[in-house]
Each structure stands twice: as structure tokens, then as C-alpha cells.
Structure 1
Amino acid sequence: MDISYILNELGEDRDSYFNAVAPPIVQTSNFACRTVEAMRYALQHEAEVDFYTRGNNPTVDMLEKKIAALEGTEHAIAFGSGIAAVSAAVLSQVRAGDHVVCVKKPYTWTNKLMQRFLPRFGVEVTMVDGTDPANYLAATQPNTVLYFLESPNSFTFELQDIAAIAALAKERGICTVIDNSFASPLFQNPASMGIDLVVHSATKYIGGHSDAMGGVVCGTRQMINKIFETEFMTLGAVLSPHDAWLLLRGLRTLPIRMERIAQTTRQVVAYLQTREEIEEIMWPFLPAHPQYQLAKAQMKNNTGQFTIRLKTDKIEEVDLFCDSLQHFLMAASWGGHESLIYPAAAAYKSGNYKSSLPFTLVRFYIGLEEPEYLIKDIEQALEKMKGR
């Protein structure tokens, strides 16, 4: 299916909304039924019809169809946030007494889901180094029902061999779920490598403007309908029609944004390689990276996130570098038009550093600014840190 068709036409029936070029925000909680028989049908087929916006809504439905097509899956379901989508995908596969194998160092709230939430309900979780598929196999138990991947990881960007882990899972009847937010549905398609459920934080690249929250789970129609009838309808973490409309707007420009971000990131990383103040650049698209070939095989292009390790043992110098940046916002998320940093040192408080990550790490996200503009900003911040 052509990407231009997906982004600009799929799921859009302009004849039904006055031939408007932009789709409408169907801002309603209810949809009326003309007869008792029609209402009876709607109640029995709520996954298929517009009856109550907590279940289906035309604006949200357009978004789901487009993202499912981008990921090459049969169906998708949208949530109010990325972690709501992750949680629903995981919960749909487990029950008390089950076991999950999860990659180490996933997104913070995914980590809490795995290590704090699931054990409360009798689900055991083993965290593994995902860089070797054999670690998933070694951690597998007779009651293992789920492998969870996040490739690349959120902060240090280790990859998992998606096809190899999916093959191990299929041989054993184990479900696989991956958080694919880092790569976007344009640059990596895990379903084509054998993954069962693909999750996105639509807040990131899909939205692209830092003004809407959302999450999406993609998979077979059978698996998505199961989530709809259980976790989705029961827990109610729905995406609003207005946020769905904002995410649709973001999808229109996704290809051109991703290409610009990828190009600028390569230029910024090339500059950072020349600076002696940088101990390490954590970015799988560096030829020296141990997983470079895997990154090239799994992903169509690089994206805008990488992490640097500053060459210092003083947290004050890390703070000075970060505070001196004038054109990088300091924020938790990424994926919008603006460039951002997230310092691991932010976990430092009152003489007590609470993190598994070294405080010298600073995660960067590259947005849509001119590369020279960003490079000059990094240069002046490094000079201030060096001259301290």
C-alpha cells in the first residue's frame, strides 16, 4: 500500500463529511440508534460500530486504520497514552501464575509495570540483556507466555535481534510485544519480522508537535478485538477525538519530518565525534557501534535520539553543560519539532544519586532546527564546561 495513500486518503470518506479536505473532529460521546434492533446490534458488535466514543469514534478510527497500514498489520487500537497502550498489550496476554521475559532498561513506566505492577497480581517477570537472543531463551520457563522487547532501548539504545527473538517465541507458542516508538512506523516494522503486537507512543513522532498524547497497539484483528473487549473497554484509557485529530495532522508530515530529523542527527553526531569532552556516543548508527549491522538490517534509517557520556567525574560540570544549552529544551519526552535533552543527572537530589545510569549521560533528541544552529549551541556549552 502506497505511503501517500495511507497518510492522505486511507479511512477518509469525504463524501460523508461535506467533502471537507481535513477530517472532522467527531466530538461526541454518544451515537444514536434509530430502532431497538439497531441498538441491539450495536451492543453485540461494539468493536465494529460507532455506538459510544469510549469504544469507537470515526476520528479515532481513521487514525487506527492509518497506523495499522503503516505497520503492515490487520488492525490497531488507540489509547490515551503510550504507556496505556503498552499496559493493555501486556495485560491482554497474562494472568496470575504466568511468567514474562522483558528486556532490561525499558521505558521508565514500562519498567514499573514489569517490576512493581505485574508481581502484585501473581505474574513473575525476568529482566534480561536483550542484545543476545539466547538470554530470552535462557530465561524462558514452562509458564512463560510473553516476551517484551523495546528496540532500541529508551536511554542507552541497545538493540534486540527482533526476528531471532520472534522466531524463538513462535517455536514455543509465546506472544511477543515490542515498543516501536523509537523508530516510528516508517523506519522499522516489527510485524514483518514476526512480532505479534507492535506498540507506539503516538505522543512522539506520530504526533510530532508536542501537543497531543496517545498510544497505539497494532496486530491481528483477532488480537486487537480481544484487547478491545477486555483491557480497552474495561479500563477506559481512551483517546479523545480531538487528540486523534491532532495525531492525524501529525501523520500528514511524518515522512518529511523523519527525513529531516535523520539528516540533522547525522550532522550533529558527526560534530560530537570531534569533541574531546565526549567520552562516548550511544547511537546504533555509528559504524563503530557493536550492533551497527543489526541496526542497518532492522531499521530503514536513523532517527533523532542518541545519548552522550561526558568526560567528567563532577556532576557540577554535567549540570553546567546542560544548563548552558540555549536552544535545547530540557524535557521528558521527544518527537516534536523542538530539540531536547534529558540528563541522567536529574535523578540527583540532596547528595543522593538514584539511578542505574551514570550521571554523566545526557540523552539528546534532535528536532527540526538547522543543524548549524544546534551545533553552535552544543559547542558553546562544551566550552563553558571545559573552562569551568
Structure 2
Amino acid sequence: MSKPLQYCPETLALSAGFFPDQQTQATTPHITMSVNHSFVPEEGSFSANGIADLADAPFLYAGWTNPTVRQLEQRIAALECTDDAYATTTGMAALSAVFFSLLRAGDHLIISDVCYAAVYELARDVLPDYGIEVTPVNLTDLDAVAQAIRPNTKLIHAESPCNPLLRLTDLAQLAHLAKQHHVLLSVDSTFATPVITRPATLGVDLVIHSLTKFINGHGDALGGCVAGSKALIAQIRSRAAAHFGATISAQNAWLIMRGIETLYPRMKTISDSALQIAQWLANHPRVKQVNYPGLASHPQYTLATEQMAYGGGVIVFQIDAMDEIAQRFARDARLFYYAYSIGHQRSLAVLLKTADLMASTYRMTTEQERQYRRYAGDGVFRLSIGLENPHDLIEELDRLLC
């Protein structure tokens, strides 16, 4: 008997979940736009084609899933080394699906004290309205995490690298701690992508992405996903797809699959360029500090070499005269577009002031803010590196930072 084929991740990015159309032999996935799929009910019941529960039908209603969306889910699961995945309208929809599917009134959530602003605000401002207790913790401090765990703690949510500091979480150690206490661990791996880190192989229960960013890679489609075991994904899908209306459209799923097919070469090119640019910035006389996991100066460089295949496509740096430099990026840049978001094929830049984030989002204790400022000072410029030649990007930075 021949052994089952075991493909490398670069191959799975192209082939997982895809087979040429039987009729046309098309080598590109079709877009199935149909909202409804017909079925024949069993006599005297509401089951479809002999299936006891309509929810078990392969395709029934696009609010649950559809053939194009299912291909995307299968490809993400293959790349993340998980059993299954559920694709959503946005990254925030994926996070909301996890929180509201797994947490109930009286439960306790531990969340990274620095993460994507909308996620932090959801946890801090919305979840308590539903009786869910939330504790922000610096997840680099495992002792602090252990002290924060309570009998009613159900979930720890991390982000690695975290936005905007590029601080890392030791996922293997945190997963070990969570399992000791029978607590689930979810990780937003948007900045890393499966090219750089595959959290499930380190013991993480749920891997979350904003597919809008590097995985799509073209800045033209919103999407999110959560990947994990069949049981957890079924639990999340049964609530979010059926009741939250969070399922991604077929067209966006198709666009994101197109992006996935070039994900591995894109992320390697972007990471190589980002490392060159980070090294250049680190030697610039006006730059005070550069945070980039691929630099030996990163406070967690050793962890980065163990947990990340590349340094990634995002760089943050500190510089004096922040407002003046921001105006230069916004008005004079030709290659860096002054805009929020990350992971596009074109390079982006934006200023993130510490005081603004403290007032609008984090509202940290004095000690938490001190730790934040260790990475960010009074503010950082966040660069999302695209596919331009790195020498051209460096020339533009040299002109803007002079």
C-alpha cells in the first residue's frame, strides 16, 4: 500500500482543498456565489439526503458555509496544521466568534495587555457587560499569568508578535501553563502568518488571523478566520455562523485564496526586505530605537529565532520630531502610503502615539505603561513593508528622515 502524500507548506498553499473542476478541468478555483443549495428531504423528516441533522449537510445555506468558503477553510487548516477552520467576514468577527462562543457570564478571560486596539476595547468595554471578567496581563511574564489564573478562567488570548510593539509571547511555555490549569489558549497570529509561526504545533488551541492583512496580501478583501480542533471549530461555527451572521462572502474567500497561493514567496521577500530596512534604520543617526524580531537588538531575539522562521513584514521605530516626520510621510512619500493596516503589497506607514493609545484604548497602570514605553517611548512609526525593492524604500526613508 502506498503511503499518503505529505506535502510541504509551500505546496499546500497552492493545493490544499483544491481539485480541478471535473467538467472543465479548470486549474483555478471557481467562485460559487449561490446562497442556497438544494436538497431532497427524507420522507417524514427534515433531514437532507439521509443526513440526520441539516447542519451536517455539506452545503445548504451560505450563512453556514459554501463550496468556495470551504476551500479557503481547508487551505488555512492545512497551513496551520489544525483539523479545521472557520472563515469569517473580518478578523474582529473571528475574535468575536471565539469570545462569544466559548465564554459565558461568570467566566474569566486573560488577555494580552498590548494587542490590536479593537480587540482590547472589545474585551475591556463589551465583555464585562455580559458578565465576563477580563484581566489584561503582560504575557511575557509567565509568573504574572499564573497568578492571574482563577478557578473560572476559561481562555487566555495572546498576540504574537503583538500590535504595535512587536513584543513576542513564548507560545510553547504559555500553552504548557494553560494546559496545566485546563484553560484554552488562543493566539492572534496575523503578524506572523503560518509562514513564520504555526502556533498549533506549539500547543496553542486556536489560531486566529485577520485574513485582510498578509494572508490576502493585496489590500482588496476583508476576511478573518479561526483554526483549531474539529470540536472547537464546530462549537464556534454553530454559534457564530448560525446566529452572528459572521460568515465570509464567497467572492472575498476567492480573493483571499488567490493571495494565499503567493503567501510563501511574498512573506520571504517581505521579511528579507524588512530585515534590510530595519538594519538601516538601526544605524540612522536620528532613529532612537528600532523594534524588529529579526534584529539581535530585539529584547526577545532568542525567542524569535526559536519561534519564528523570519522576522516578518512589520517594523516599528522611534524618532524625535514625530509630528514633523508624520507630515512628511503623509505629504511627501511616494512609496510609503500613510495609512492604517498592514500586509498589503504596497508599503504603509503610520505614527502611533503612546499618549493617544493610553487615552483611547489601553488605560494602563503606571507599571504597565512603563513596560509599554520600554518598547514604544512616546510613540512609534509602524512600517508595513511591501514588495517594492528595499533599496528604493531605504532611499525614500533617507529622504523623509533627514
Q: 1:100 aligns with which of 77, 97, 109?
A: 109
Alpha-carbon contact 1:305-1:366 (below 8 Å) kept: yes
TM norm structure 1: 0.92
Q: Take 2:68 and 2:325, find their aligned partners in 1: how far apart are those partners?
A: 48
Q: Take 2:299 and 2:377, find their aligned partners in 1: how far apart are those partners?
A: 20
Change beyond 3 A, Cα 1:27–1:176 = same
Alpha-carbon contact 2:329-2:338 (below 8 Å) kept: no
Alpha-carbon contact 1:102-1:147 (below 8 Å) kept: yes
Q: Take 1:359 and 1:317, find their aligned partners in 2: how far apart are those partners?
A: 14
User: Which residue is equivalent to 1:386?
Assistant: none
Deviations 1:49-83 (A, max 9, x none): 10001112000111100110100000001001011
Q: Which amino acid aligns with 1:281?
A: V
CA positional deviation for 1:355: 6.7
Q: 2:333 aligns with which of 295, 305, 325?
A: 325
User: Which residue is equivalent to 1:129?
Assistant: 138
Q: Take 2:99 and 2:39, find their aligned partners in 1: how far apart are those partners?
A: 34
Matched residue SS, 1:92: helix
User: Which residue is equivalent to 2:20?
Assistant: 14
User: Which residue is equivalent to 1:278?
Assistant: 287
User: Which residue is equivalent to 1:259?
Assistant: 268
2:384 aligned with 1:378: no
Q: Take 2:281 and 2:196, find their aligned partners in 1: how far apart are those partners?
A: 24
CA positional deviation for 1:189: 0.7
Q: Take 1:379 and 1:40, find their aligned partners in 2: how far apart are those partners?
A: 66
Deviations 1:214-233 (A, max 9, x none): 11110000110111111221
Q: 1:54 aligns with which of 52, 57, 63?
A: 63
Q: Take 1:7 and 1:271, find their aligned partners in 2: how far apart are those partners?
A: 32
Change beyond 3 A, Cα 1:39–1:52 = farther
Alpha-carbon contact 1:132-1:161 (below 8 Å) kept: no
CA positional deviation for 1:9: 2.4
Change beyond 3 A, Cα 1:346–1:296 = closer
Q: Where do 5+ consecutive residues of structure 2 fail to align?
A: 1-5, 363-375
User: Which residue is equivalent to 2:31?
Assistant: 25
User: Which residue is equivalent to 1:339?
Assistant: 347
* Paired residues for 1:88-167 under 5 Å: 88-167=97-176
User: Which residue is equivalent to 1:69?
Assistant: 78
Change beyond 3 A, Cα 1:162–1:290 = same
User: Which residue is equivalent to 2:93?
Assistant: 84
Q: Where do 5+ consecutive residues of structure 1 fail to align?
A: 384-388
Alpha-carbon contact 1:341-1:363 (below 8 Å) kept: yes
User: Which residue is equivalent to 1:306?
Assistant: 315
CA positional deviation for 1:321: 5.2
Matched residue SS, 2:156: strand
User: Which residue is equivalent to 1:369?
Assistant: 388
Compare 22-31 and 86-95 and name the one that shifted more. Answer: 86-95
Alpha-carbon contact 2:345-2:387 (below 8 Å) kept: yes
Alpha-carbon contact 2:111-2:134 (below 8 Å) kept: yes
Q: 2:40 aligns with which of 30, 34, 45?
A: 34
Alpha-carbon contact 2:275-2:295 (below 8 Å) kept: no
Deviations 1:117-165 (A, max 9, x none): 1000000100011112222111111211111100111101111111111
Identity of aligned residues (%): 34
Q: Which amino acid aligns with 2:307?
A: Q
Compare 353-362 and 58-67 and name the one that shifted more. Answer: 353-362
Q: Which amino acid aligns with 1:130?
A: L
Q: Which amino acid aligns with 1:31?
A: H
Q: Take 1:346 and 1:167, find their aligned partners in 2: how far apart are those partners?
A: 33
Q: Take 2:56 and 2:139, find their aligned partners in 1: how far apart are those partners?
A: 35
* Paired residues for 1:212-291 under 5 Å: 212-291=221-300
Q: Take 2:354 and 2:171, find their aligned partners in 1: how far apart are those partners?
A: 32
Alpha-carbon contact 1:47-1:225 (below 8 Å) kept: no
Q: Take 1:9 and 1:28, find their aligned partners in 2: how far apart are those partners?
A: 23
TM norm structure 2: 0.89
Q: Take 2:15 and 2:200, find their aligned partners in 1: how far apart are those partners?
A: 23
User: Which residue is equivalent to 1:294?
Assistant: 303
CA positional deviation for 1:331: 1.4
Q: Take 2:142 and 2:23, find their aligned partners in 1: how far apart are those partners?
A: 49
User: Which residue is equivalent to 1:179?
Assistant: 188
Q: Which amino acid aligns with 2:396?
A: D
CA positional deviation for 1:326: 2.5
Matched residue SS, 2:296: coil
Q: Take 1:86 and 1:236, find their aligned partners in 2: how far apart are those partners?
A: 14
Matched residue SS, 2:22: helix
Q: Which amino acid aligns with 2:269?
A: R
Matched residue SS, 1:343: strand
Change beyond 3 A, Cα 1:231–1:370 = same
